[in-house]
Amino acid sequence: MGYVERTLGFSTRHLDDRDIRLVTVIVAGTVRWKRYIDYLIMSLCSDEKVFSKMEPLLLQILRIGFFEILKLNVPAYAVVDENVRLAKVALRPGAGNMVNAILRKLLSLKETDSLPLPKVEGDDRAQARALSIIYSHPVWMVRRWIRFHGKEEALKLMNWNNSDPYFSLRVNTANGYTRDDLVNRLEDLQVHYEKSIMDEFVRIREGMQAVLQAGLLREGMCAVQDESAGFVVSVVDPQPGESIMDCCAAPGGKTLFMASRLAGQGKIWALDINKGRLRILMEAAKCHNLDDIITDVHGDLRLYAKESTAKYDKVLLDAPCSGLGVLSKRADLRWNRQFEDLEELTCLQDELLYSASSLVKPGGVLIYSTCSIDHEENENRITAFVQRHPEFTLEGVHGYVPAEFITDEGFYSSSPTKHSLDGAFAARLVRSIH
């Protein structure tokens, strides 16, 4: 579940499903389209100073009104009335007048199809700046994606990130449920679904509130998990009887799926530095009836690896990463990531890979994964690791995931634009026997 749902959860208990969905769409959409909307608000203010000095709450109310007018089929009069009222109640009558004037200006520009838009012209930097406004993304992401994937692909990716996401549900076979059981419950709840390419999964675009309120997650029938993460578990390929160390495990999406594949035989150690997230993992493990094969370990992987002498058949490092593959689900993430984060993250990923590798048995397997689509966090980390660790050999993921997800170098890679899934990456490395 994304931050929007979690944040809103506290203040929407009295709303019905339709209204909760509307609030969720408005909050997520307003956050996603912030850069584009701010450009329009600035263009419609009498001068730039009015915009830069605007009170934060007034700006938020305008952003919501702009999003509703530009992207939703809400009647214009209702948007103006509601947001003027909101400004009057939350601020003062004068603020309501200002909201009224600016929203009406926007409506007339929209009606005459004359909304201001920056021109995509000039050098690369200027073009990226214009596109970053039109598609509402940070400039550095636009430049990076155009540079590495080309303009067409970059635009597709931004369109994907701006669309309302699908959510996938994975049925919990460890509790004895089948996908048909889940499908029957969704039909009872009148939630429209699609069966996924992965056997245990179904996809829904709407109806998450109904699923939550019916208790499907609470009673351990299913978990919210994207197939892109499910395929990482296929790359791990857990087998009954194996010992598996899940190095960055919380909140446990992959731990639980791996555990359900062990068919009651074997053991998973779920290590994470974040105690609160580990607690969520163990609560979910209990609810999925998998707590007897999962042991939680609270700590920093780098210290744990130094002190531990234990070795495991398989070690999964689902590394902390930029999350650039999941921007459609995490509406706020694009604004919280800086280019400089990438350097910091890749250093951490190298350190964690080094630590994780020391826990692999001779002949065992190390799996590195991220939910990023950036080669610096993916292919480049593996290339750097293999150069420094000749005891590990890269093994292709052929046979573990469908061919369309396998790169020329033998990595698993899911792409939002190619596969309509979140972006994810995984590599399999085998430790030599000696």
Ligand X SMILES: C[S@@+](CC[C@H](N)C(=O)[O-])C[C@H]1O[C@@H](n2cnc3c(N)ncnc32)[C@H](O)[C@@H]1O
- Contact positions vs ligand X (CB under 6 A): 229, 248-254, 271-274, 277, 300-302, 318, 320
Q: Which residue, 24 or 322, is less far from ligand X as judged by CB? A: 322
CB-based burial label for 302 (10 Å; 0-12, 13-18, 19+): middle
CB of 144 to ligand X, least distance (A): 21
What are the structure tokens assigned to 207, written together?
């109806």
CB of 299 to ligand X, least distance (A): 7
CB of 353 to ligand X, least distance (A): 12
Characterize 149-177 residue by residue with b for buried, 16 or more Cβ atoms within 10 angstroms of its Cβ, and e for exposed. bebeebbbbbebbbeebbbbbbbbbbbeb
Q: Is 21 within 8 Å of 209 (Cβ atoms)?
A: yes
Q: Is 317 within 8 Å of 352 (Cβ atoms)?
A: yes
Give the max Cα distance, the chain: 77
CB of 372 to ligand X, least distance (A): 10
Q: Which residue, 272 or 374, is less far from ligand X as judged by CB? A: 272
Q: Which residue, 191 or 271, is less far from ligand X as judged by CB? A: 271
Q: Is 230 within 8 Å of 426 (Cβ atoms)?
A: no
Q: Which residue, 37 or 248, is less far from ligand X as judged by CB? A: 248
> Residue 251, preceding bond cis, omega within 30 degrees?
yes
CB of 104 to ligand X, least distance (A): 45
Type and span of the H or E element at 168: strand 167-171
Q: Phi first, then psi: what are they for 424, rounded to 5°?
A: -150, 165
CB of 247 to ligand X, least distance (A): 6
Q: Helix 34-44 and helix 56-71: axis angle, to 10°? A: 100
CB of 273 to ligand X, least distance (A): 4
Q: Is 41 within 8 Å of 103 (Cβ atoms)?
A: no
CA angle at residue 270 from 304 to 175, to 5 degrees?
Answer: 170
What are the structure tokens assigned to 366, written together?
């190390």
Q: Which residue, 118 or 299, is less far from ligand X as judged by CB? A: 299
Q: Where are the beta strands (DSSP E) in 213-288?
A: 222-224, 243-246, 267-272
CB of 315 to ligand X, least distance (A): 13
Q: Which residue, 132 or 414, is less far from ligand X as judged by CB? A: 414
Q: Is 66 within 8 Å of 40 (Cβ atoms)?
A: yes
Residue nearest to ligand X (CB): 248
Q: Which residue, 209 or 322, is less far from ligand X as judged by CB? A: 322
Q: Which residue, 103 or 382, is less far from ligand X as judged by CB? A: 382
